[in-house]
Amino acid sequence: HLCVIPHFPEFDSKLKMLDFRQQGGGQAATAMVACQRLGLKTRYLGKVGDDDFGRYSKKSLEDEGVDVEGVVVVPGARNQFAFILIDQHTGERTIIWDRDKRLVICPEEVPRDIICSAKVLLVDGHDAAASVQSAKWAKNEGIIVVMDAERISEETAELISLVDVVIGERHFPERFTGIPDLKEALAEIAERGPRVAGVTMGKEGASAFCDGEFYHSPAYEISCRDTTGAGDVFHAAFIRALFEDWDLKRCLDFSNAVAALKCRGLGGRTALP
């Protein structure tokens, strides 16, 4: 639920919203929609609730051409949902969300055949144990593994050691390593296994460390309406760039450009190219 507001409300107050939209969301789901629009063939694995929101989420993926063979509807469960407050002036957002515990995916529930049929596997912070299992299978098959790093759990270090590319939100490198210097933090993460360790920083652009070199790509100047899903779209664009013979700087520039285009509209999908 996307709510555009003139300013952030105070407690014990009322505020009239300026615009409202309902749209499918989720880190990996939005990334799959973006990959699909960028010309890739995609498949989403996950669970949805047995309610109107769950049916809406699944159909929104189907409508975009995303394969939903691996989507499981959990009887009696409430679908994950969020209220997203978007500042009218800056496009910055605050997300208030909830997830039914019955939507958690256990490692033994992951379909190995689907994982091993991919060319690239994207994992996010949800269901970390299942992500570790999936990454192990993918690594054994020579499949590229990309990680959208946001949450930190007891499995995070192991998962990072299994992936080829890890791109975190702006605070992840310091939170994970305890190192405040960005270059040093990314270098430390890269030492743990990934070939590319990167970070997205909103209007400050994106940076990455690879093969001993630090790269930075400045953000594009746009009229930003909503930043919701920009990171998810960045990951999708980076995956698309992996299929081209581009250097890392060009991959970052391309991903920044696609994420910037997304920010022209409400939600993670409206303004996707």
Residue 31 confidence (pLDDT): 97
> What is the dotted CATH code of the domain comprising 26-78+106-262?
3.40.1190.20
Residue 161 confidence (pLDDT): 98
Residue 23 confidence (pLDDT): 87
Residue 61 confidence (pLDDT): 97
* Strand locations in the chain (E): 2-5, 19-21, 43-49, 67-74, 81-87, 93-98, 120-123, 144-149, 165-168, 196-200, 206-210, 213-217
Residue 267 confidence (pLDDT): 87
Residue 125 confidence (pLDDT): 74
Residue 126 confidence (pLDDT): 85
Residue 101: CB atoms within 10 Å: 6
State the pTM of this model.
Answer: 0.92
| Average pLDDT per block of 10 residues along the chain, 273 residues long | 91 92 90 98 96 94 96 95 91 90 95 97 92 98 97 96 98 98 98 98 96 97 92 98 96 98 91 88
